[in-house]
Structure 1
Amino acid sequence: MPAELRAKIMNQFKPIHLLGHILLFGIGLVLLYPLIFMVLAGFFNKTEFMSTVLGVFPIPKEPTLDNFKMLIFGTTDSATAVYLRNSVIRAVYNTFGALLTSFLAGYVFARLKFKGKDQIFLIMLATQMIPTTLAIIPTYLEYARFPFAGGNHVFTGGSGILDTWWVYFIGGPAINIMGTFLVKQSLEKVPVEIDESAKIDGAGTFRLIFQILFPLQLPIMAYIAITTALAAWNDFITPFFYTHSDYLQTLPSAITRISSIGVSPGAVIDYPMIITLSLGITIPALIIFFFLQKYIVQGLANTGIKG
């Protein structure tokens, strides 16, 4: 073994380094403990879970895979498969919608010249300061009074688009303000001469946007896709406030549905199933962030934003 390699290995066993590794391991264990607990709790059935005094790392006497089968295949609760499907559809639809609207809006504000452009952009940014909770009631009334839908004649009566897929389709691909801002900032760093050269070579507006400028913004697009997908996957407000039919619910809604069983006198809340559903919401988000976090950093760095 080369002397340098031997010295490097021995250096790792110095007391200060061993202490550092132990400290980092302890911190990592503390951070991962909730996830470990959720995985272990998923192997319980609700009867054993309620009758067991849980330790730091709960181990069931009769482990079962029913909760995980329910989450993945919907074997014990067919509605769960519908919730999972709806969550995936929402995440994919919102992501593609946000990518398209953010890039086009960013291109408009970065490249086109028209009166009031800066004022409109500032108004858009100002809407980001409005808390989401303040928009719940106005949004509900907007959906309820949506003209010519749900029995509405113009602006009165009926239920509008409440409790329909239109709640997701119309509310999903709205302009992503943060994404628009990032695309605008990034495109302004791209020389205008590229546009002029492309037009001289015969490229039209469509080709200029999607074949020349869009590939230059891939890190920004990756950031928008990741953050939008995570937001749609974890969204609880939209299905909870604007829908009530079971076939329209998502995974976050499933937790509320199962928890409500405990309202009945004498009913036993299925905590292992609730925890497993929560695990189904958490793990995809962790996987996406863990493997794609470099695109988040790269996307923000390309806009010149420091944080």
Structure 2
Amino acid sequence: MASVSVQTKSVRKLKVGHIAAHLVLGGFGLVLFYPLIFMILSGFFTSDEFQTTVLGILPIPKEPTLWNYRILFYGSTDTSVRVYILNSLFRTLYSTFFAVLTSFLAGYAFARLKFKGKDGLFLSLLATQMIPGTIALIPTYLQYARWPYAGGNDIFTGGTGLLDTWWVYLLGGPAINIMGMFLVKQSLEKVPYELDEAAKMDGAGTLRVIFQVLLPLQLPIMAFIAITTALGTWNDFITPFFYTNSDHLQTLPSAITRLTSAAKGGYSSPNYPIIITLGLGTTLPALLIFFFFQKYIVQGLANTGIKG
């Protein structure tokens, strides 16, 4: 009887502990999701009501409207919002594709090929990760602005170069993801060379070994590189904000920044409900990508032997 009572007490303590843990986690979850809830509710306001209403903890509009969400999903009358969304999608897909491709090929070269200066080149590339990105803003700007024979530039006079053109995205997008290259190299070094030799003995060429034998083994890491690159590119506002001026070249993050500094839609002040709704449109895809593909991030890091 004594043992039964002890077990009953331990079960009760366990249940109480679980309930307390869930309450604490639920409270933290509400705190973390509160900004998202605030943004969703703010999207139902008109600009006039938003400016004249004293907002509480949960902003509830008296006359809710779907106008802001219609603009987010279908574009405004001048289709600018639709252009921003399409630009963000194109840039994200383009940069992600090339980041995955170049990271895998560079990682393969450093893991499998033998050439002079390989270790020094690899360490030099890793060293660039210690340089803050803001330091490269001015050199990159000058590089785009002084691009020869573009935008009025010649050998005698200057011009705009590649600034405010699609080349800013096309040339700046397909860069090597240094961290992705490092992860691929670390993972491929754990794959025995005998696998390559066995494939070549069966008649496979170099490209077939790379893309049909080694690449399938790196799919978790490729997914990790794709997810992190997509998130970073989708949320990036520095590139379009600093290197472009035309409205048709803007992405969602840069467009939101411009909207906050200018009156839109005939209002005497910025239309905050549409700005918040566009911010929601920028945030939700990133949250959904992370929520559904977070396991690939864990698998990608686990396959390289990196723990943190």
Q: Smaller-chain TM-score range?
A: over 0.9
Equivalent AA in structure 2 for residue 106 of structure 1: G
Partners of 2:157 and 2:139 in 1: CA distance: 15
Shift of 1:201: 1.1
Partner residue, 1:21: 22
Partners of 2:107 and 2:170 in 1: CA distance: 22
Partners of 2:291 and 2:12 in 1: CA distance: 30
Partner residue, 2:5: none
Contact persistence 1:44–1:64 (CA under 8 A): yes
Return 254-263 or 36-45, whichever deviates more.
254-263
Shift of 1:16: 3.7
Partner residue, 2:174: 173
Pairs within 5 Å for 1:1-307 = 14-76=15-77, 78-154=79-155, 156-262=157-263, 267-307=268-308
Partners of 1:140 and 1:108 in 2: CA distance: 30
Contact persistence 1:147–1:155 (CA under 8 A): no
Contact persistence 1:183–1:220 (CA under 8 A): yes
Partners of 1:217 and 1:21 in 2: CA distance: 37
Shift of 1:28: 1.0
Shift of 1:256: 1.7
Partners of 1:49 and 1:13 in 2: CA distance: 47
Give the alignment's TM-score, normalised by structure 2: 0.92
The gaps in structure 1 that reach 5 residues or longer are 1-6
Equivalent AA in structure 2 for residue 261 of structure 1: A
Shift of 1:77: 5.2
Give the count of matched residue pairs: 297
The verdict on how the C-alpha distance between 1:197 and 1:275 changes in structure 2, with shifts beyond 3 A counting, is: same
The verdict on how the C-alpha distance between 1:155 and 1:285 changes in structure 2, with shifts beyond 3 A counting, is: farther
Contact persistence 1:69–1:76 (CA under 8 A): no
Partners of 1:261 and 1:153 in 2: CA distance: 36
Equivalent AA in structure 2 for residue 305 of structure 1: I
The gaps in structure 2 that reach 5 residues or longer are 1-7
Give the alignment's TM-score, normalised by structure 1: 0.93
Root-mean-square deviation (Å):
1.8
Contact persistence 1:70–1:77 (CA under 8 A): no
Equivalent AA in structure 2 for residue 57 of structure 1: L
The verdict on how the C-alpha distance between 1:180 and 1:154 changes in structure 2, with shifts beyond 3 A counting, is: farther
Shift of 1:202: 1.1
Contact persistence 1:93–1:172 (CA under 8 A): yes
Partners of 1:217 and 1:49 in 2: CA distance: 50
